Amino acid sequence: MASSLSELISSAYQVQRNDGTRALIKKLDNRIERYLKIKKAERKDSLELECNSTNVIFDTTTLVSKDWFYPRYLDGTLHEPEITKELIDSLGPDTVFYDIGALVGYYTIFASEICKEGKVHAFELDSQYLNAIQKSLARNGTDAILNHKAISHVTGEKLGYSGDVGFASINKDENTVQTCSVETISLDEYTKNNAYPDIMKIDIEGFEYNALKGSKAVFEAGYPKKLFLELHPPKIRSYGGSIQEILSILKSNDYECKPIAYHRGDKKGARAVTTDDINKMENVMIICTRPDHPS
């Protein structure tokens, strides 16, 4: 708190010194106004968002959904706007969509509104997030298959996990106290009794290699047609995988990969990146498309 207060005082001093007292008062007014908006929003029990003419409502009665949505998306701002728009454009009424690492269901809810004749499958480690998704589905009158599972290369393994909103991740260190546990399932096993995914999103904090390694039969069947894959190089390495191995799996299954330069912000555009470039990043989104699927 002391550090935050000192930073605030220092910032105020710099504004007054460089721009004068009026500018300082205006800046303080803006901060107070935003603070009041945030506190008011936190008392709301829902948040409406729109993308590409698809309107959805997110339930924000749970603490995890409040923590995730406010204040970042307070004014209708989209999460990962470029990815959101492209993913929604990729979905159709009969699409089967897999959301792996669904968290509070941001992509799950949008997909549930679109894929009315298909099916949405969400996978999440933490039951409190699944509860938040269920509440949002009820708000929209839509449905999805919710799986309290970790996607991996093996089925039936018990894994401990820990973390905060948006950062829950598998913990393989046996010396660490495990607060929660979840059972694994491979996509090859899951799709024995469920339809293959046409479109799939994976964001699982470094466990990506394990998920892809357990999807051999899915890939051989020609699915998914389009994959939105967020890579977390440092965490991938900590789990014993590598970017090279992931890119090799994608290449061997005929995917054309398009890294997105600024997937968390408003800037647009993909750019060519090498394996070395990716290895230096904290995270990067790549969109993987089979040649016979429209990008």
Transcribe 161-210 into DSSP letters: EE-STTT-EEE--TTSPPSEEEEEE-HHHHTTSSPPPSEEEE--TT-HHH
Whether residues 94 and 193 fall in one domain: yes
**Using CA atoms, how far apart are residues 271 and 228, in angstroms rounded to an integer?**
16
Residue 65: how many other CB atoms lie within 10 Å: 27
**Using CA atoms, how far apart are residues 152 and 186, in angstroms rounded to an integer?**
5
pLDDT tens for each residue of 248-266: 999 999 999 988 865 555 5
**Using CA atoms, how far apart are residues 189 and 154, in angstroms rounded to an integer?**
9
Give first-to-last CA distance, the chain, whole Å: 47
Whether residues 149 and 33 fall in one domain: no
Residue 30 lies in a domain: yes
Whether residues 123 and 254 fall in one domain: yes
Residue 295 lies in a domain: no
Whether residues 30 and 116 fall in one domain: no
Whether residues 35 and 156 fall in one domain: no
Q: Which two tokens stand for residue 62?
A: 């749970």
Q: Do residues 163 and 67 make contact, with C-beta atoms less than 8 angstroms apart?
A: no
Residue 294 lies in a domain: no
Transcribe 205-266 into DSSP letters: TT-HHHHHHTTHHHHHTT--SEEEEEE-HHHHHHTT--HHHHHHHHHHTT-EEEEETTTTSS
Provide the number of structural domains found in the chain: 2
Return the CATH number at 165: 3.40.50.150
Query: Range of 233's domain?
Result: 45-289
Residue after which a domain boundary falls, among 10, 25, 41: 41
The reported pTM is 0.82
Whether residues 213 and 166 fall in one domain: yes
Q: Which two tokens stand for residue 233?
A: 């190089």
Whether residues 142 and 33 fall in one domain: no
Whether residues 33 and 101 fall in one domain: no
Whether residues 72 and 106 fall in one domain: yes
pLDDT tens for each residue of 219-239: 999 999 999 999 999 999 988
- Per-residue pLDDT of the chain (295 residues), as tens digits, is 344 556 666 677 676 677 778 777 777 766 665 555 556 556 689 999 999 999 999 999 998 999 899 888 877 889 999 899 999 999 999 999 999 999 999 999 999 999 999 999 999 999 999 999 999 999 999 999 999 999 999 999 998 876 654 445 566 554 444 468 899 999 999 999 999 999 999 999 899 999 999 999 999 999 999 999 999 999 999 888 999 999 999 999 999 998 886 555 555 555 666 788 888 888 889 999 998 755 5
Transcribe 3-50 into DSSP letters: HHHHHHHHHHHHHHHHH-HHHHHHHHHHHHHHHHHHHHHTT-SEEEEE
